[in-house]
């Protein structure tokens, strides 16, 4: 039995931000549980999920991707050639002494659990379309001819532990031939570095767009201050249009369509793949220039001309001005069945309420709606990722469905939200608030033993707890959470 009136302490917050890092004293406030009004429990490691979308909720109907966080302790890492950490590829002679074999400079790092990245300098030739290869003809520190041809393969999308994502990413051949006679002649010579990455994988789902592409791209491209050429594989026109403001902020050059450009593009410096650590988070210690997730938030506000940097505060607002609350109105699964009733209750607490579904194509329009709000309420799912547009000190309230989903709720949304200087509250629904009660008897393992469902595999868990389940909030039970959020808005947390 969990105790009442306690807060859940987060496990060690792995991704410190340069300016403000939530510590273990920054607790997630938990409200509701099948057995109590407020709960406290340890966050277990479980298989996690984020959706990949097609035609529906969050703009499309969700097709849940298998997105397991691969950590060495989790058992979810997939070794390649029976080795979890691949050898570091090298290129070029960096030193020679006393006849000893020359030490070679690292070119590719395959050791990270999330992404493979090749950072090359020298005579680099990028050949797209049917050939799909990148050639490092001569490394910048080359001091003699090579004794053999070398080649490797890379899929430039930072979710390599997720087979379902990587199956939709084009494989590129990375070669280092013996001399330039085997290399095609340059068609275009570039004076700036190039970054080659994929927008395949789970792209199209809001969570994955940010976690797998936009934030990793910011980490990788940011240090070049716009003086970098993007080469995109698995290019999707609608995706390019959707996130054009980000791409234009990060690069001053027209994007090269790797799959359809038959020219040979030559660079002196190129990066294949994107750097990433955790979903929706940046570790400044490992990021170029010490970038933090707040640097990405500032880029976001600039890209979409978002006006508000700070959430509502009673002391600084005109008389009569109410804080604004956004209800994420999902159109597919895990939606609010009694949305109008929830809106009426929230208005009674004192909020101006907006109920809106994310616009799949017009990110800017919905970003401005989110930025105009002070509190965001949503059921666990990709739509919550839009908290990236909230002003500092705003509050995110995640409504967590039945199914023992604490781990994914915490790692995918709670910790990232706090890293972006947002306050976080969590509401765990009761059996009476889940539509699963209409599909299963009360003594079914779905309610009594969620762990037994987890043990049947990811797809079983997904189908029951994420695809079959909608939420009918008990407004009387949920009202104290909105009142608590109102109190927090009066307290300025971040300077």
What pLDDT digit, counting tens, does each position of 283-329 carry? 888 777 889 999 999 999 999 999 999 999 866 778 889 999 999 99
Query: 21-35, 135-149, 198-212, 308-322 — which is least confidently predicted?
Result: 21-35
**How do 103-109 and 117-127 pair as beta strands?**
antiparallel
Q: Give first-to-last CA distance, the chain, whole Å.
A: 38
Closest CA to 138 of 191, 91, 186, 193: 91
Structural domain includes residue 215: yes
Structural domain includes residue 281: no
Instruction: Give dist(CA 317, CA 313) in Å, integer.
Output: 6
Structural domain includes residue 231: yes
The pLDDT tens digits for 324-369 are 999 999 888 999 999 999 999 999 999 999 999 998 889 999 999 9
* 456 and 309 housed in the same domain: yes
Instruction: Give dist(CA 381, CA 87) in Å, integer.
Output: 37
* 223 and 159 housed in the same domain: yes
Mean local confidence (pLDDT), 458-487: 96
Structural domain includes residue 293: no
Q: Token pair 């705003």 is at which residue?
A: 394
Mean local confidence (pLDDT), 246-261: 97
Structural domain includes residue 80: no
Instruction: Give dist(CA 80, CA 71) in Å, integer.
Output: 15
Decide if pLDDT at 69 tops 90.
no
At residue 149, the pLDDT reads 64
Residue 268: which domain range?
89-112+115-276
At residue 343, the pLDDT reads 98
Mean local confidence (pLDDT), 190-202: 98
Other beta carbons less than 10 A from residue 262's beta carbon: 10
At residue 492, the pLDDT reads 74
* 53 and 105 housed in the same domain: no
Determine contact, residues 293/419, Cβ cutoff 8 Å: yes
Instruction: Give dist(CA 197, CA 230) in Å, integer.
Output: 8
At residue 255, the pLDDT reads 97
Q: Which residues contact 180 (CB under 8 A, 6 or more apart)?
A: 123, 137, 138
Instruction: Give dist(CA 194, CA 188) in Å, integer.
Output: 12
* 234 and 309 housed in the same domain: no
At residue 62, the pLDDT reads 40
At residue 320, the pLDDT reads 83
Q: Which residues contact 264 (CB under 8 A, 6 or more apart)?
A: 125, 126, 127, 184, 185, 186, 187, 188
* 5, 219, 291, 478 from 446: Cα distances, Å: 27, 41, 43, 23
What's the total number of domains in the chain? 2
* 206 and 334 housed in the same domain: no
Determine contact, residues 419/281, Cβ cutoff 8 Å: yes
63: its two tokens = 């097709």
Q: How confident is the model at residue 263 (pLDDT cuts 50, 70, 90)?
A: very high
Determine contact, residues 256/229, Cβ cutoff 8 Å: yes
At residue 32, the pLDDT reads 65
Mean local confidence (pLDDT), 90-95: 42
Q: How confident is the model at residue 121 (pLDDT cuts 50, 70, 90)?
A: very high
* 225 and 334 housed in the same domain: no
* 244 and 354 housed in the same domain: no
* 136 and 252 housed in the same domain: yes
At residue 447, the pLDDT reads 97
Structural domain includes residue 84: no
Query: 15-24, 249-258, 408-417 — which is least confidently predicted?
Result: 15-24
Query: Chain-wide mean pLDDT for the chain?
Result: 81
At residue 443, the pLDDT reads 95
Decide if pLDDT at 82 tops 50.
no
* Domain CATH for 481: 3.40.50
* 341 and 468 housed in the same domain: yes
Query: HEC string of the chain?
Result: CCCCCCCECCCCCCCCCCCCCCCCCCCEEEECCCCCCCCCCCCCCCCCEEEEEECCHHHCEEEEEECCCCCCCCCCCCCECCECCCCCEEEEEEECCCCCCCEEEEEEECCCCCCCEEEEEEEEEEECCCCCEEEEEEECCCCCCCCCCEEEEECCCCCCCCHHHHCCCCCEEEEECCCHHHCCCCCEECCCCEEEEECCCCCCCHHHHHHHHHHHHHHHHHHHCECCEEEEECCCHHHHHHCHHHHHHHECCCCEECCCCCCEEEEEEEEECCCCCECCECCCCCCHHHCCHHHHHHHHHHHCCCCCCECCCHHHCCCCCCCEEEEECCCCCCCECCHHHHHHHHHHHCCEEEEECCCCCCHHHHHHHHHCCCEEEEECCHHHHHHHHCCECCEEEEEECCCCCHHHHHHHHHHHHHHCCCEEEEEECCHHHEHHHHCCCCCCHHHHCHHHHHCCCHHHHHHHHHHCCCECCCHHHHHHHHHHHHHHHCCCCCC
* 236 and 326 housed in the same domain: no
Instruction: Give dist(CA 280, CA 412) in Å, integer.
Output: 7
At residue 81, the pLDDT reads 35
Instruction: Give dist(CA 198, CA 158) in Å, integer.
Output: 9
Decide if pLDDT at 25 tops 90.
no
- Residue 231 φ then ψ, to 5°: -120, 115
At residue 105, the pLDDT reads 52
Structural domain includes residue 282: no
* 467 and 327 housed in the same domain: yes
* 358 and 485 housed in the same domain: yes
Mean local confidence (pLDDT), 75-96: 37
Q: Which residues contact 474 (CB under 8 A, 6 or more apart)?
A: 430, 432, 433
Mean local confidence (pLDDT), 81-101: 40
Q: Which residue has the higher pLDDT, 439 or 48?
A: 439
Structural domain includes residue 292: no
At residue 18, the pLDDT reads 33
At residue 285, the pLDDT reads 84
Decide if pLDDT at 132 tops 90.
no
Q: Which residue has the higher pLDDT, 31 or 332?
A: 332
């Amino acid at each position: 039995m969990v105790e009442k009136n306690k807060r859940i302490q987060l496990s060690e917050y792995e991704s410190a931000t340069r300016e403000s890092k939530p510590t273990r004293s920054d607790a997630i406030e938990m409200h509701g549980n099948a057995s109590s009004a407020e709960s406290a429990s340890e966050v277990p490691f479980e298989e996690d999920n984020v959706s990949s979308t097609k035609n529906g909720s969050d703009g499309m109907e969700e097709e849940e991707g298998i997105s397991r966080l691969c950590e060495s302790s989790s058992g979810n890492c997939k070794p390649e050639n029976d080795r979890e950490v691949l050898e570091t590829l090298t290129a070029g002679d960096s030193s020679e002494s006393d006849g000893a074999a020359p030490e070679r400079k690292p070119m590719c790092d395959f050791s990270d659990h999330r992404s493979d990245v090749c950072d090359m300098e020298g005579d680099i030739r990028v050949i797209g379309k049917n050939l799909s290869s990148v050639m490092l003809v001569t490394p910048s520190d080359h001091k003699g001819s090579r004794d053999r041809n070398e080649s490797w393969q890379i899929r430039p999308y930072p979710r390599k532990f997720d087979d379902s994502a990587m199956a939709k990413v084009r494989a590129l051949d990375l070669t280092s031939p013996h001399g330039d006679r085997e290399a095609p002649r340059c068609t275009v010579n570039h004076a700036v570095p190039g970054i080659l990455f994929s927008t395949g994988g789970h792209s199209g789902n809001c969570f994955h767009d940010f976690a797998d592409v936009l934030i990793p791209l910011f980490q990788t491209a940011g240090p070049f201050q716009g003086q970098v050429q993007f080469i995109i594989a698995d290019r999707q026109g609608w995706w390019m249009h959707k996130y054009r403001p980000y791409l234009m902020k990060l690069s001053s050059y027209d994007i090269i369509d790797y799959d359809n450009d038959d020219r040979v593009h030559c660079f002196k410096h190129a990066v294949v793949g994107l750097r990433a650590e955790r979903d929706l988070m940046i570790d400044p210690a490992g990021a170029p220039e010490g970038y933090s997730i707040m640097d990405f938030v500032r880029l976001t506000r600039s890209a979409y001309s978002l006006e508000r940097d700070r959430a509502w505060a009673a002391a600084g607002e005109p008389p009569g001005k109410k804080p604004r609350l956004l209800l994420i109105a999902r159109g597919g699964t895990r939606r609010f069945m009694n949305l109008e009733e929830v809106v009426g209750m929230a208005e009674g607490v004192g909020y101006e309420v907006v109920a809106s579904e994310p616009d799949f194509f017009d990110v800017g329009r919905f970003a401005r709606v989110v930025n105009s709000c002070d509190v965001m309420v949503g059921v666990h799912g990709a739509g919550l990722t839009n908290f990236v547009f909230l002003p500092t000190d705003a509050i995110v309230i995640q409504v967590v469905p039945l199914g023992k989903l604490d781990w994914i709720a915490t790692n995918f949304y709670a910790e990232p939200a706090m890293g972006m200087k947002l306050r976080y509250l969590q509401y765990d629904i009761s059996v009476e608030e889940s539509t699963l009660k209409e599909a299963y008897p009360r003594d079914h393992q779905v309610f009594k033993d969620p762990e037994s469902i987890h043990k049947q595999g990811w797809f079983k868990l997904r189908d029951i707890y994420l695809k079959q389940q909608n939420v009918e909030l008990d407004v009387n039970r949920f009202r104290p959470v909105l009142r608590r959020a109102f109190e927090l808005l009066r307290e300025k947390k971040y300077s």
